[in-house]
Amino acid sequence: MALLQDKVALVTGAATGIGEAVAELFCAEGAAVLALDRDGPGVEAVAARIRARGQQAQAAAADVRDRAALAQAVGSVIAEHGRLDILINNAGIYPRKAFLEMTEAEWDEMQDINLKSLMHTCQLALPHMIRQGSGKIVNISSVTFFLGFERLTHYVAAKGGVIGLTRVLAREFGPHNIHVNCITPGAIKVEAEKRFVSEEQQRAILGYQSLKRRLLPLDLARVCLFLSCPLSDGMTGQTLNVDGGWVMY
């Protein structure tokens, strides 16, 4: 039996990269997935490709800063399926900027997308999970929280907040049989990487890792699957580092 048979999942940032891989893997494991992204055509293409394989996927074009749009997306899931079992908070941005050159608007945009959006999605999803008496939430943070990276102050601060949020939600909603865990990805080989990582930096990444290959979105999707299925029923409030053996703690 598929690991997510008859489960219903919402995946944010699902038009490309990690979110796209999660949506595809979850559908292959029997879930019905609502793939959400502000790139409407991109996320619809992902959902259409999944449906062409005979699996269940729908697309929602929404910016994770727009609570009304998120509420509409969650409402559509409940209207169609009557439940929401899994929430994958993956949407995020990764602009680099020196701290003393950073504007307040740039700081706020980072916090709004990479951290505050999780408040919106969790507040919208949790009442349904409480009603069901079960739920799995997986938040995507970053290995940069453990390392500290220059020109990423706003990003690292937001991703550290994701870990803190995960721990508190796990405490608060554990009595409702709701599991809240976190993943800190390392350097994942995605299409967008070409815009900000040189070939020299890519080679350096392999030098840091214990595993001498680039990690792929599927590597992260598989850990999301583990944290979203019964195999992880004894875990909550945890942060799993998926970085090829770069940071060990």
Neighbours of 242 (CB within 10 A): 19
Is residue 249 flagged as an active site residue? no
Q: What is the pLDDT of residue 196?
A: 73
User: Which comes out higher in pLDDT, residue 197 or 91?
Assistant: 91
Classify 142 as helix, strand or coil.
coil
pLDDT tens digits along 180-222: 999 999 999 988 777 777 888 888 989 999 999 999 999 999 9
Q: What is the pLDDT of residue 21?
A: 98
Of residues 94, 155, 208, 249, which has the active-site annotation? Answer: 155
To 5 degrees, how large is the angle CA 208–CA 155–CA 115? Answer: 125
CA distance 18 to 29: 16
**Domains, the chain, with CATH or none:** 8-242 (3.40.50.720)
